[in-house]
Structure 1
Amino acid sequence: MTHSNFNASDYFEKIYERPVILEAKQLSQVFKHGKTERTVLNKLDLKVHKREFICVIGPSGCGKSTFSRVVAGLDPYHSGEILVDGEPISGPSPERGMVFQGYTLFPWKTVKENVMFGPRMKGISQMAAESQAREWINIIGLDKYENQYPHQLSGGMKQRVAIARALVNEPKILLMDEPFGALDPHTRQKMQRHLMDLWQNIDITIIFVTHDMDEAILLADRIVALKANPGEIKEIIEVDLPRPRSSDVFTTPEFRRLRERVDALVHAQEDELDPALAELPKIPRMTQISTKR
Protein backbone atom coordinates (compact mmCIF):
# COMPACT_ATOMS: atom_id res chain seq x y z
CA MET A 1 0.00 0.00 0.00
CA THR A 2 1.48 3.35 -1.02
CA HIS A 3 0.80 6.37 1.14
CA SER A 4 3.00 8.83 -0.78
CA ASN A 5 0.29 9.94 -3.26
CA PHE A 6 -2.56 10.09 -0.77
CA ASN A 7 -3.53 13.46 0.65
CA ALA A 8 -6.11 12.96 3.40
CA SER A 9 -7.08 16.64 3.68
CA ASP A 10 -7.78 16.81 -0.08
CA TYR A 11 -9.76 13.56 0.08
CA PHE A 12 -12.05 14.78 2.88
CA GLU A 13 -12.35 18.25 1.40
CA LYS A 14 -13.79 16.66 -1.74
CA ILE A 15 -16.22 14.58 0.34
CA TYR A 16 -17.47 17.66 2.21
CA GLU A 17 -17.99 19.52 -1.08
CA ARG A 18 -20.53 16.89 -2.15
CA PRO A 19 -24.24 17.38 -1.43
CA VAL A 20 -25.54 16.25 1.96
CA ILE A 21 -27.71 13.20 1.25
CA LEU A 22 -28.71 12.36 4.85
CA GLU A 23 -29.04 14.76 7.76
CA ALA A 24 -30.03 14.10 11.36
CA LYS A 25 -30.97 17.20 13.36
CA GLN A 26 -31.34 16.77 17.12
CA LEU A 27 -32.64 13.25 16.43
CA SER A 28 -33.92 11.48 19.55
CA GLN A 29 -35.51 8.10 20.11
CA VAL A 30 -37.22 7.14 23.37
CA PHE A 31 -38.51 3.65 24.20
CA LYS A 32 -41.33 3.34 26.73
CA HIS A 33 -41.90 0.27 28.93
CA GLY A 34 -44.97 0.83 31.06
CA LYS A 35 -44.27 3.97 33.08
CA THR A 36 -40.53 3.97 32.46
CA GLU A 37 -38.77 5.66 29.56
CA ARG A 38 -35.32 5.01 28.13
CA THR A 39 -33.60 7.46 25.79
CA VAL A 40 -31.80 5.36 23.18
CA LEU A 41 -30.75 8.21 20.87
CA ASN A 42 -30.23 11.66 22.31
CA LYS A 43 -30.14 14.74 20.06
CA LEU A 44 -27.95 13.32 17.28
CA ASP A 45 -26.61 15.81 14.74
CA LEU A 46 -25.02 14.21 11.68
CA LYS A 47 -24.48 15.04 8.02
CA VAL A 48 -23.69 12.26 5.55
CA HIS A 49 -22.45 13.29 2.12
CA LYS A 50 -23.28 11.65 -1.21
CA ARG A 51 -21.25 8.48 -1.87
CA GLU A 52 -19.74 8.45 1.60
CA PHE A 53 -19.08 5.19 3.42
CA ILE A 54 -20.00 5.72 7.08
CA CYS A 55 -19.48 3.10 9.79
CA VAL A 56 -21.38 3.39 13.07
CA ILE A 57 -19.78 1.75 16.11
CA GLY A 58 -20.22 1.79 19.87
CA PRO A 59 -20.91 -0.45 22.87
CA SER A 60 -23.99 -2.66 23.06
CA GLY A 61 -27.10 -0.62 23.76
CA CYS A 62 -25.78 2.65 22.31
CA GLY A 63 -28.48 2.82 19.62
CA LYS A 64 -26.56 1.73 16.49
CA SER A 65 -29.31 -0.54 15.20
CA THR A 66 -32.00 1.89 16.37
CA PHE A 67 -30.40 4.61 14.25
CA SER A 68 -30.30 2.39 11.15
CA ARG A 69 -33.96 1.38 11.63
CA VAL A 70 -35.00 5.04 11.96
CA VAL A 71 -33.09 5.93 8.76
CA ALA A 72 -34.70 2.95 7.00
CA GLY A 73 -38.11 4.27 8.05
CA LEU A 74 -38.92 1.06 9.91
CA ASP A 75 -39.36 2.80 13.29
CA PRO A 76 -40.90 6.23 13.97
CA TYR A 77 -38.64 8.52 16.01
CA HIS A 78 -39.46 10.56 19.09
CA SER A 79 -38.23 14.05 18.18
CA GLY A 80 -35.89 16.02 15.94
CA GLU A 81 -35.57 15.52 12.21
CA ILE A 82 -34.10 12.99 9.80
CA LEU A 83 -33.90 14.09 6.16
CA VAL A 84 -32.91 12.45 2.86
CA ASP A 85 -32.10 15.03 0.19
CA GLY A 86 -33.81 17.60 2.42
CA GLU A 87 -37.08 15.63 2.67
CA PRO A 88 -38.28 14.13 5.99
CA ILE A 89 -38.31 10.35 6.31
CA SER A 90 -41.88 9.19 6.93
CA GLY A 91 -41.60 5.43 6.41
CA PRO A 92 -39.82 2.75 4.37
CA SER A 93 -38.82 3.63 0.81
CA PRO A 94 -36.96 1.89 -2.04
CA GLU A 95 -34.52 4.83 -1.96
CA ARG A 96 -33.18 3.36 1.31
CA GLY A 97 -32.17 -0.29 0.98
CA MET A 98 -31.61 -2.37 4.12
CA VAL A 99 -29.45 -5.46 4.74
CA PHE A 100 -29.69 -7.11 8.19
CA GLN A 101 -27.38 -9.56 9.96
CA GLY A 102 -30.04 -12.27 9.85
CA TYR A 103 -30.83 -13.74 6.47
CA THR A 104 -34.10 -12.09 5.47
CA LEU A 105 -34.64 -13.78 2.11
CA PHE A 106 -38.00 -15.35 1.31
CA PRO A 107 -37.28 -19.08 1.74
CA TRP A 108 -39.96 -20.08 -0.77
CA LYS A 109 -38.50 -17.92 -3.56
CA THR A 110 -35.45 -18.62 -5.69
CA VAL A 111 -32.45 -16.26 -5.81
CA LYS A 112 -33.87 -14.63 -8.96
CA GLU A 113 -37.37 -14.31 -7.49
CA ASN A 114 -35.97 -12.77 -4.28
CA VAL A 115 -34.06 -10.12 -6.25
CA MET A 116 -37.09 -9.49 -8.52
CA PHE A 117 -39.37 -8.85 -5.53
CA GLY A 118 -38.66 -5.10 -5.20
CA PRO A 119 -39.09 -4.20 -8.88
CA ARG A 120 -42.29 -6.27 -9.07
CA MET A 121 -43.67 -4.47 -6.00
CA LYS A 122 -42.97 -1.18 -7.78
CA GLY A 123 -45.15 -2.34 -10.69
CA ILE A 124 -42.33 -3.17 -13.10
CA SER A 125 -43.24 -5.88 -15.62
CA GLN A 126 -42.14 -9.49 -15.13
CA MET A 127 -39.74 -9.32 -18.08
CA ALA A 128 -38.13 -6.01 -17.01
CA ALA A 129 -37.87 -7.15 -13.36
CA GLU A 130 -36.23 -10.39 -14.49
CA SER A 131 -33.74 -8.45 -16.59
CA GLN A 132 -32.85 -6.14 -13.68
CA ALA A 133 -32.54 -9.08 -11.29
CA ARG A 134 -30.22 -10.95 -13.66
CA GLU A 135 -27.99 -7.88 -13.99
CA TRP A 136 -27.49 -7.70 -10.23
CA ILE A 137 -27.17 -11.46 -9.81
CA ASN A 138 -24.31 -11.31 -12.34
CA ILE A 139 -22.69 -8.39 -10.47
CA ILE A 140 -22.69 -10.37 -7.20
CA GLY A 141 -21.34 -13.43 -9.03
CA LEU A 142 -24.28 -15.78 -8.45
CA ASP A 143 -25.58 -16.24 -12.00
CA LYS A 144 -25.08 -20.02 -11.71
CA TYR A 145 -27.31 -20.05 -8.64
CA GLU A 146 -30.26 -17.94 -9.80
CA ASN A 147 -32.71 -20.85 -9.58
CA GLN A 148 -31.50 -22.10 -6.19
CA TYR A 149 -33.45 -21.55 -2.97
CA PRO A 150 -31.95 -19.84 0.13
CA HIS A 151 -31.54 -23.14 2.03
CA GLN A 152 -29.22 -24.32 -0.76
CA LEU A 153 -26.85 -21.34 -0.32
CA SER A 154 -23.98 -20.61 2.05
CA GLY A 155 -24.15 -17.67 4.48
CA GLY A 156 -21.97 -15.49 2.25
CA MET A 157 -24.15 -16.27 -0.78
CA LYS A 158 -27.33 -15.38 1.12
CA GLN A 159 -25.90 -11.99 2.10
CA ARG A 160 -24.85 -11.31 -1.50
CA VAL A 161 -28.43 -12.02 -2.58
CA ALA A 162 -29.71 -9.70 0.19
CA ILE A 163 -27.36 -6.96 -1.08
CA ALA A 164 -28.52 -7.49 -4.68
CA ARG A 165 -32.17 -7.40 -3.55
CA ALA A 166 -31.52 -4.02 -1.91
CA LEU A 167 -29.48 -2.57 -4.80
CA VAL A 168 -31.83 -3.62 -7.61
CA ASN A 169 -34.17 -0.84 -6.43
CA GLU A 170 -31.38 1.71 -7.12
CA PRO A 171 -31.47 3.20 -3.60
CA LYS A 172 -29.66 6.41 -2.72
CA ILE A 173 -28.59 4.92 0.62
CA LEU A 174 -27.72 1.33 1.54
CA LEU A 175 -28.14 0.60 5.27
CA MET A 176 -26.27 -2.44 6.58
CA ASP A 177 -26.79 -3.61 10.16
CA GLU A 178 -24.02 -6.05 11.14
CA PRO A 179 -24.43 -7.75 7.74
CA PHE A 180 -21.33 -9.95 8.06
CA GLY A 181 -21.62 -10.67 11.78
CA ALA A 182 -22.72 -14.30 11.34
CA LEU A 183 -20.07 -15.20 8.75
CA ASP A 184 -16.85 -17.11 9.34
CA PRO A 185 -13.67 -14.93 9.20
CA HIS A 186 -12.61 -16.02 5.69
CA THR A 187 -16.07 -15.42 4.16
CA ARG A 188 -16.36 -12.14 6.06
CA GLN A 189 -13.08 -10.90 4.58
CA LYS A 190 -14.20 -11.81 1.05
CA MET A 191 -17.54 -10.06 1.58
CA GLN A 192 -15.78 -6.92 2.85
CA ARG A 193 -13.66 -6.84 -0.33
CA HIS A 194 -16.72 -7.40 -2.51
CA LEU A 195 -18.66 -4.64 -0.75
CA MET A 196 -15.79 -2.16 -1.19
CA ASP A 197 -15.61 -3.06 -4.86
CA LEU A 198 -19.38 -2.54 -5.25
CA TRP A 199 -19.28 0.80 -3.44
CA GLN A 200 -16.35 2.09 -5.50
CA ASN A 201 -18.15 1.29 -8.74
CA ILE A 202 -21.78 2.26 -8.18
CA ASP A 203 -23.50 5.48 -7.12
CA ILE A 204 -24.41 4.60 -3.54
CA THR A 205 -24.00 5.97 -0.01
CA ILE A 206 -23.45 3.29 2.65
CA ILE A 207 -24.23 3.46 6.37
CA PHE A 208 -22.76 0.34 7.96
CA VAL A 209 -23.35 -0.68 11.59
CA THR A 210 -20.68 -2.92 13.11
CA HIS A 211 -19.17 -4.05 16.43
CA ASP A 212 -15.90 -4.89 14.66
CA MET A 213 -13.37 -2.05 14.92
CA ASP A 214 -11.03 -3.53 12.30
CA GLU A 215 -13.96 -3.80 9.89
CA ALA A 216 -14.96 -0.18 10.53
CA ILE A 217 -11.44 1.13 9.83
CA LEU A 218 -11.07 -1.06 6.73
CA LEU A 219 -14.37 0.08 5.17
CA ALA A 220 -15.19 3.60 6.31
CA ASP A 221 -14.50 7.12 5.15
CA ARG A 222 -15.68 8.27 8.59
CA ILE A 223 -16.47 6.35 11.76
CA VAL A 224 -19.32 7.63 13.93
CA ALA A 225 -18.62 6.46 17.50
CA LEU A 226 -21.70 6.43 19.71
CA LYS A 227 -21.79 6.33 23.49
CA ALA A 228 -24.59 4.67 25.43
CA ASN A 229 -27.02 5.73 28.17
CA PRO A 230 -28.16 7.82 26.40
CA GLY A 231 -27.00 7.18 22.83
CA GLU A 232 -25.05 10.23 21.70
CA ILE A 233 -22.28 10.88 19.18
CA LYS A 234 -19.04 10.74 21.16
CA GLU A 235 -16.71 11.38 18.24
CA ILE A 236 -16.56 11.27 14.44
CA ILE A 237 -13.25 9.94 13.16
CA GLU A 238 -11.91 10.54 9.65
CA VAL A 239 -10.20 7.36 8.42
CA ASP A 240 -7.17 8.88 6.73
CA LEU A 241 -6.02 5.70 4.99
CA PRO A 242 -5.66 5.57 1.18
CA ARG A 243 -8.10 3.68 -1.01
CA PRO A 244 -8.46 1.08 -2.37
CA ARG A 245 -7.78 -0.80 0.88
CA SER A 246 -7.09 -4.45 1.53
CA SER A 247 -6.35 -6.50 4.63
CA ASP A 248 -2.67 -5.51 4.15
CA VAL A 249 -3.63 -2.23 5.82
CA PHE A 250 -3.88 -4.08 9.18
CA THR A 251 -0.07 -4.27 9.43
CA THR A 252 0.59 -0.54 8.91
CA PRO A 253 1.45 1.91 11.71
CA GLU A 254 -1.33 4.22 10.44
CA PHE A 255 -3.90 1.47 10.98
CA ARG A 256 -2.55 0.68 14.45
CA ARG A 257 -2.78 4.36 15.41
CA LEU A 258 -6.44 4.50 14.34
CA ARG A 259 -7.18 1.15 16.00
CA GLU A 260 -5.84 2.37 19.34
CA ARG A 261 -7.97 5.52 19.10
CA VAL A 262 -11.17 3.63 18.23
CA ASP A 263 -10.40 0.94 20.81
CA ALA A 264 -10.01 3.54 23.56
CA LEU A 265 -13.34 5.14 22.59
CA VAL A 266 -15.37 1.92 22.58
CA HIS A 267 -13.74 -0.20 25.29
CA ALA A 268 -13.53 2.59 27.83
CA GLN A 269 -17.31 2.88 27.53
CA GLU A 270 -17.87 -0.88 27.78
CA ASP A 271 -15.98 -0.94 31.08
CA GLU A 272 -18.10 1.95 32.35
CA LEU A 273 -21.34 0.22 31.28
CA ASP A 274 -20.37 -3.12 32.86
CA PRO A 275 -18.18 -2.42 35.91
CA ALA A 276 -18.49 -6.09 36.91
CA LEU A 277 -16.02 -6.88 34.10
CA ALA A 278 -13.30 -5.10 36.05
CA GLU A 279 -14.02 -7.21 39.15
CA LEU A 280 -14.06 -10.73 37.71
CA PRO A 281 -13.33 -13.18 40.55
CA LYS A 282 -10.28 -15.43 40.76
CA ILE A 283 -11.32 -18.96 39.74
CA PRO A 284 -10.86 -21.49 42.57
CA ARG A 285 -8.81 -24.60 41.74
CA MET A 286 -11.18 -27.43 40.82
CA THR A 287 -8.81 -29.84 39.05
CA GLN A 288 -5.72 -31.82 39.96
CA ILE A 289 -4.36 -31.80 36.41
CA SER A 290 -1.66 -29.19 35.94
CA THR A 291 -1.31 -26.98 32.88
CA LYS A 292 2.35 -26.26 33.75
CA ARG A 293 5.13 -27.93 31.81
Structure 2
Amino acid sequence: MEGFRATRVTSYGNALYGIYAFDARGGIIEDSYASGMADSGIYVGQCRPCDTLVRGNTVERNAVGIEITNASENLTVVGNRAVGNRVGVTVNSNDLESLAPQHGAVIAGNVVADNNAADSPQQADGGFGIGIGIGGGVDNRVERNLVTGNRSAGVVVTDPPGHPASGNRVTANRVTGNGVDLVGAAAAPSNCFTGNGPVSQSPPGLEQVAPCGVNGSAPVPRGRAAAVQAPPGTPFNEVPAPPAQPSLPDPNAPAVPAVALPGPVDPAAYPLPTGV
Protein backbone atom coordinates (compact mmCIF):
# COMPACT_ATOMS: atom_id res chain seq x y z
CA MET A 1 0.00 0.00 0.00
CA GLU A 2 1.23 3.47 -0.85
CA GLY A 3 -0.01 6.37 1.26
CA PHE A 4 -1.82 6.03 4.62
CA ARG A 5 -2.71 8.15 7.63
CA ALA A 6 -3.88 7.22 11.13
CA THR A 7 -4.61 10.40 13.11
CA ARG A 8 -6.22 10.53 16.57
CA VAL A 9 -7.11 6.86 16.56
CA THR A 10 -7.91 5.20 19.91
CA SER A 11 -7.14 1.49 19.87
CA TYR A 12 -7.33 -0.83 22.87
CA GLY A 13 -7.90 -4.49 23.71
CA ASN A 14 -7.30 -5.77 20.15
CA ALA A 15 -5.42 -8.91 21.20
CA LEU A 16 -2.25 -8.47 19.10
CA TYR A 17 -1.84 -5.05 17.46
CA GLY A 18 -3.25 -1.59 17.90
CA ILE A 19 -2.24 0.36 14.77
CA TYR A 20 -0.55 -1.92 12.25
CA ALA A 21 1.33 -0.78 9.13
CA PHE A 22 2.70 -3.80 7.26
CA ASP A 23 4.06 -3.78 3.70
CA ALA A 24 2.89 -0.16 3.51
CA ARG A 25 4.81 2.98 2.56
CA GLY A 26 4.39 6.72 2.60
CA GLY A 27 2.35 7.09 5.77
CA ILE A 28 1.80 8.85 9.08
CA ILE A 29 0.69 7.44 12.43
CA GLU A 30 0.16 10.41 14.69
CA ASP A 31 -1.56 11.70 17.84
CA SER A 32 -3.06 8.29 18.53
CA TYR A 33 -3.40 6.00 21.55
CA ALA A 34 -2.96 2.25 21.95
CA SER A 35 -3.15 -0.06 24.96
CA GLY A 36 -3.83 -3.68 25.86
CA MET A 37 -2.00 -5.30 22.93
CA ALA A 38 -0.29 -8.66 23.35
CA ASP A 39 2.15 -7.79 20.57
CA SER A 40 2.52 -4.03 20.12
CA GLY A 41 0.54 -0.83 20.34
CA ILE A 42 2.00 0.52 17.09
CA TYR A 43 3.70 -1.74 14.56
CA VAL A 44 5.60 -0.84 11.39
CA GLY A 45 6.96 -3.82 9.47
CA GLN A 46 8.34 -5.05 6.15
CA CYS A 47 8.85 -1.84 4.22
CA ARG A 48 11.82 -0.44 2.29
CA PRO A 49 11.83 2.46 1.85
CA CYS A 50 9.15 3.02 4.48
CA ASP A 51 8.81 6.79 4.07
CA THR A 52 6.80 6.68 7.28
CA LEU A 53 6.46 8.99 10.28
CA VAL A 54 5.33 7.87 13.74
CA ARG A 55 4.86 10.94 15.92
CA GLY A 56 3.01 12.26 18.95
CA ASN A 57 1.43 8.96 19.98
CA THR A 58 0.84 7.51 23.46
CA VAL A 59 1.26 3.76 23.99
CA GLU A 60 0.82 2.11 27.37
CA ARG A 61 0.00 -1.28 28.92
CA ASN A 62 1.13 -3.19 25.82
CA ALA A 63 3.61 -6.03 25.56
CA VAL A 64 5.62 -3.64 23.35
CA GLY A 65 4.75 0.01 22.91
CA ILE A 66 6.19 0.68 19.44
CA GLU A 67 7.65 -2.14 17.35
CA ILE A 68 9.74 -1.70 14.20
CA THR A 69 10.54 -4.95 12.35
CA ASN A 70 12.33 -5.18 8.98
CA ALA A 71 11.24 -1.58 8.39
CA SER A 72 13.93 0.58 6.84
CA GLU A 73 14.85 3.90 5.23
CA ASN A 74 13.15 7.21 5.91
CA LEU A 75 11.38 5.86 8.98
CA THR A 76 11.14 8.43 11.76
CA VAL A 77 9.77 7.80 15.26
CA VAL A 78 9.59 11.13 17.12
CA GLY A 79 7.79 12.80 19.99
CA ASN A 80 5.98 9.70 21.24
CA ARG A 81 5.25 8.62 24.80
CA ALA A 82 5.93 4.92 25.49
CA VAL A 83 5.29 4.60 29.21
CA GLY A 84 4.07 1.66 31.29
CA ASN A 85 4.42 -1.14 28.75
CA ARG A 86 6.56 -4.25 29.22
CA VAL A 87 8.98 -3.03 26.57
CA GLY A 88 8.92 0.54 25.31
CA VAL A 89 10.35 0.58 21.77
CA THR A 90 11.92 -2.24 19.74
CA VAL A 91 13.80 -2.06 16.44
CA ASN A 92 14.26 -5.57 15.06
CA SER A 93 15.47 -7.75 12.23
CA ASN A 94 14.09 -11.26 11.83
CA ASP A 95 13.35 -13.91 9.22
CA LEU A 96 9.61 -14.14 9.88
CA GLU A 97 9.07 -11.24 7.46
CA SER A 98 10.80 -10.13 4.27
CA LEU A 99 13.29 -7.29 3.83
CA ALA A 100 15.71 -8.10 6.64
CA PRO A 101 17.91 -6.65 7.96
CA GLN A 102 16.16 -3.62 9.34
CA HIS A 103 18.17 -0.43 8.84
CA GLY A 104 18.14 3.34 8.71
CA ALA A 105 15.49 4.46 11.23
CA VAL A 106 15.62 7.51 13.51
CA ILE A 107 14.24 7.30 17.06
CA ALA A 108 14.32 10.82 18.53
CA GLY A 109 12.67 13.03 21.11
CA ASN A 110 10.56 10.30 22.71
CA VAL A 111 9.71 9.63 26.36
CA VAL A 112 10.36 5.94 27.11
CA ALA A 113 9.77 5.41 30.80
CA ASP A 114 8.71 2.91 33.45
CA ASN A 115 8.13 0.03 31.08
CA ASN A 116 7.56 -2.46 33.88
CA ALA A 117 3.76 -2.67 33.82
CA ALA A 118 2.30 -5.79 35.40
CA ASP A 119 -1.19 -4.90 34.12
CA SER A 120 -0.14 -5.64 30.52
CA PRO A 121 -0.24 -8.70 28.24
CA GLN A 122 2.76 -11.00 28.34
CA GLN A 123 5.48 -10.29 25.78
CA ALA A 124 6.09 -13.23 23.45
CA ASP A 125 9.85 -13.31 24.03
CA GLY A 126 9.49 -12.64 27.73
CA GLY A 127 10.87 -9.11 27.55
CA PHE A 128 10.16 -6.89 30.54
CA GLY A 129 11.60 -3.71 31.95
CA ILE A 130 13.31 -2.55 28.74
CA GLY A 131 13.18 0.98 27.36
CA ILE A 132 14.60 0.91 23.81
CA GLY A 133 15.91 -2.33 22.34
CA ILE A 134 17.71 -2.72 19.01
CA GLY A 135 17.82 -6.37 18.00
CA GLY A 136 19.80 -6.89 14.83
CA GLY A 137 19.11 -3.44 13.44
CA VAL A 138 21.68 -1.64 11.28
CA ASP A 139 22.60 2.05 10.97
CA ASN A 140 19.83 3.37 13.23
CA ARG A 141 20.02 6.62 15.19
CA VAL A 142 18.73 6.80 18.76
CA GLU A 143 19.04 10.40 19.91
CA ARG A 144 17.58 12.93 22.36
CA ASN A 145 15.22 10.46 24.03
CA LEU A 146 14.37 10.47 27.73
CA VAL A 147 14.76 6.85 28.86
CA THR A 148 14.17 6.30 32.55
CA GLY A 149 12.75 3.92 35.12
CA ASN A 150 13.04 0.72 33.06
CA ARG A 151 14.06 -2.02 35.49
CA SER A 152 16.15 -4.19 33.18
CA ALA A 153 17.78 -1.81 30.68
CA GLY A 154 17.41 1.70 29.32
CA VAL A 155 18.90 1.24 25.84
CA VAL A 156 20.19 -2.17 24.73
CA VAL A 157 21.76 -3.20 21.40
CA THR A 158 21.93 -6.93 20.79
CA ASP A 159 22.29 -9.63 18.12
CA PRO A 160 19.37 -12.01 17.53
CA PRO A 161 20.31 -15.23 15.70
CA GLY A 162 21.45 -14.51 12.15
CA HIS A 163 21.18 -10.72 12.36
CA PRO A 164 24.15 -8.90 13.88
CA ALA A 165 23.48 -5.33 14.92
CA SER A 166 25.94 -2.83 13.45
CA GLY A 167 26.39 0.86 12.81
CA ASN A 168 23.81 1.95 15.38
CA ARG A 169 24.41 5.34 17.05
CA VAL A 170 23.06 6.05 20.55
CA THR A 171 23.77 9.72 21.23
CA ALA A 172 22.62 12.67 23.34
CA ASN A 173 19.90 10.78 25.16
CA ARG A 174 19.08 11.23 28.83
CA VAL A 175 19.30 7.65 30.08
CA THR A 176 18.96 7.44 33.84
CA GLY A 177 17.48 5.39 36.64
CA ASN A 178 17.24 2.14 34.69
CA GLY A 179 18.41 -1.32 35.79
CA VAL A 180 21.43 -0.78 33.51
CA ASP A 181 21.24 2.42 31.52
CA LEU A 182 23.28 1.45 28.43
CA VAL A 183 23.87 -2.14 27.34
CA GLY A 184 26.10 -3.03 24.40
CA ALA A 185 25.40 -6.73 23.88
CA ALA A 186 26.23 -6.90 20.16
CA ALA A 187 29.46 -8.24 18.69
CA ALA A 188 30.12 -5.55 16.07
CA PRO A 189 32.44 -2.74 17.23
CA SER A 190 30.65 -0.25 14.95
CA ASN A 191 27.75 0.33 17.34
CA CYS A 192 28.54 3.49 19.29
CA PHE A 193 27.39 5.34 22.41
CA THR A 194 28.16 8.98 23.21
CA GLY A 195 26.78 11.79 25.37
CA ASN A 196 24.03 9.93 27.18
CA GLY A 197 24.77 11.40 30.59
CA PRO A 198 26.41 9.90 33.67
CA VAL A 199 24.98 6.43 33.21
CA SER A 200 25.46 2.86 34.34
CA GLN A 201 26.96 0.87 31.50
CA SER A 202 27.51 -2.76 30.57
CA PRO A 203 30.20 -3.56 29.72
CA PRO A 204 31.74 -1.02 32.11
CA GLY A 205 32.93 2.11 30.35
CA LEU A 206 30.87 1.41 27.23
CA GLU A 207 30.92 5.04 26.12
CA GLN A 208 34.72 5.01 26.37
CA VAL A 209 35.33 1.71 24.56
CA ALA A 210 32.68 2.30 21.84
CA PRO A 211 32.37 6.07 21.36
CA CYS A 212 30.81 7.61 18.29
CA GLY A 213 33.09 9.40 15.85
CA VAL A 214 35.93 6.92 16.27
CA ASN A 215 36.60 4.23 13.69
CA GLY A 216 37.35 1.45 16.12
CA SER A 217 37.82 -2.13 15.11
CA ALA A 218 38.69 -3.75 18.43
CA PRO A 219 36.06 -6.15 19.80
CA VAL A 220 33.88 -4.75 22.57
CA PRO A 221 33.04 -7.06 25.48
CA ARG A 222 29.38 -7.97 25.49
CA GLY A 223 27.27 -6.36 28.17
CA ARG A 224 24.24 -7.65 30.00
CA ALA A 225 21.00 -6.11 31.15
CA ALA A 226 19.87 -6.43 34.75
CA ALA A 227 18.05 -9.67 35.48
CA VAL A 228 14.38 -9.00 36.16
CA GLN A 229 11.61 -11.52 36.78
CA ALA A 230 8.63 -10.64 34.58
CA PRO A 231 5.28 -10.86 36.37
CA PRO A 232 2.46 -12.91 34.83
CA GLY A 233 0.74 -11.19 31.95
CA THR A 234 -2.76 -9.73 32.05
CA PRO A 235 -5.18 -11.02 29.39
CA PHE A 236 -5.59 -8.35 26.73
CA ASN A 237 -9.33 -8.13 27.29
CA GLU A 238 -8.81 -7.41 30.99
CA VAL A 239 -6.57 -4.40 30.50
CA PRO A 240 -8.65 -1.38 31.60
CA ALA A 241 -10.22 0.70 28.87
CA PRO A 242 -8.59 4.11 28.50
CA PRO A 243 -10.34 7.38 29.23
CA ALA A 244 -11.71 9.37 26.33
CA GLN A 245 -8.94 10.63 24.06
CA PRO A 246 -8.77 13.90 22.08
CA SER A 247 -10.86 13.83 18.94
CA LEU A 248 -10.27 15.35 15.54
CA PRO A 249 -11.20 19.04 15.39
CA ASP A 250 -13.81 18.21 12.77
CA PRO A 251 -14.50 14.47 12.60
CA ASN A 252 -17.02 15.08 9.80
CA ALA A 253 -14.54 16.78 7.51
CA PRO A 254 -14.14 15.12 4.09
CA ALA A 255 -11.34 12.60 3.84
CA VAL A 256 -8.13 13.77 2.22
CA PRO A 257 -6.22 11.19 0.14
CA ALA A 258 -3.04 10.08 1.90
CA VAL A 259 -0.69 10.65 -1.02
CA ALA A 260 2.98 11.61 -0.85
CA LEU A 261 3.09 11.34 2.94
CA PRO A 262 4.84 12.19 5.17
CA GLY A 263 7.02 14.60 3.17
CA PRO A 264 10.26 16.00 4.60
CA VAL A 265 10.78 15.27 8.31
CA ASP A 266 13.43 16.96 10.47
CA PRO A 267 14.19 14.83 13.54
CA ALA A 268 16.26 17.71 14.94
CA ALA A 269 13.00 19.59 15.49
CA TYR A 270 12.24 17.17 18.35
CA PRO A 271 14.34 18.10 21.40
CA LEU A 272 15.20 15.99 24.39
CA PRO A 273 12.04 15.81 26.56
CA THR A 274 12.37 17.53 29.93
CA GLY A 275 10.15 15.19 31.92
CA VAL A 276 7.97 12.10 31.90
TM-score range, shorter chain: under 0.3
TM-score normalized with structure 2 length: 0.25
Query: Which one scores higher on RCO, CA 8 angstroms, separation ≥ 6?
Result: 1
Which structure has more strand as a fraction of its residues? 2
